[in-house]
Homo-oligomer: A and B are copies of this chain.
Amino acid sequence: MPRSSTSSSAKSGPVTLAMVARRAGVSSQTVSNAINSPDLLRPETLERVRRVIDEMGYRPSRAAQTLRTRSSKLIGYGIQPAAFSYPVLDRFLHAVSQAAEEAGYRILLFACPPGGPTLEGYEELLDQHEVDGFVLSGTERGDPRQAWLTKRGVPFVGFGRTWSGRPIGDWVDVDGASGTDAAVEHLVALGHRKIAFLGWERGSSSAGDDRAEGWRRAMRRHGLPTRGRRGQSSVNDSDVARAAVKPLLDGGATAVVAASDMLALGCYQTLRERGQTPGRDVAVIGFDDSPTAELLSPALSSIAQPLEAIGRECVRLLLARMAAPDAPPERILLEPSLVVRDSATASLIAGG
Residues of A within 8 A of B (CB): 4-6, 14, 57, 59-64, 66-67, 72, 74, 77, 79-82, 85, 87-91, 93-94, 97-98, 101, 106-111, 123-124, 127-130, 152, 238, 261-262, 265-266, 268-269, 272-273, 290-292, 294-297
Contacts and interface: CB of A to CB of B under 8 A. Distances in A.
Contacts of A89: 89-90
A81 B63 contact: no
A294 B128 CA distance: 42
A5 B6 CA distance: 40
Contacts of A292: 87, 261-262, 265, 290, 292
A67 B63 contact: yes
The oligomer's copy count stands at: 2
A97 B79 contact: yes
A286 B265 CA distance: 17
A6 B111 CA distance: 23
B295 A238 contact: yes
A61 B94 contact: no
Contact of A152 (B6, B128, B130, B297): B6
A59 B128 contact: yes
B129 A63 contact: yes
A94 B79 contact: yes
Contact of A127 (B59, B98, B124, B262): B59
A73 to B, nearest CB: 9
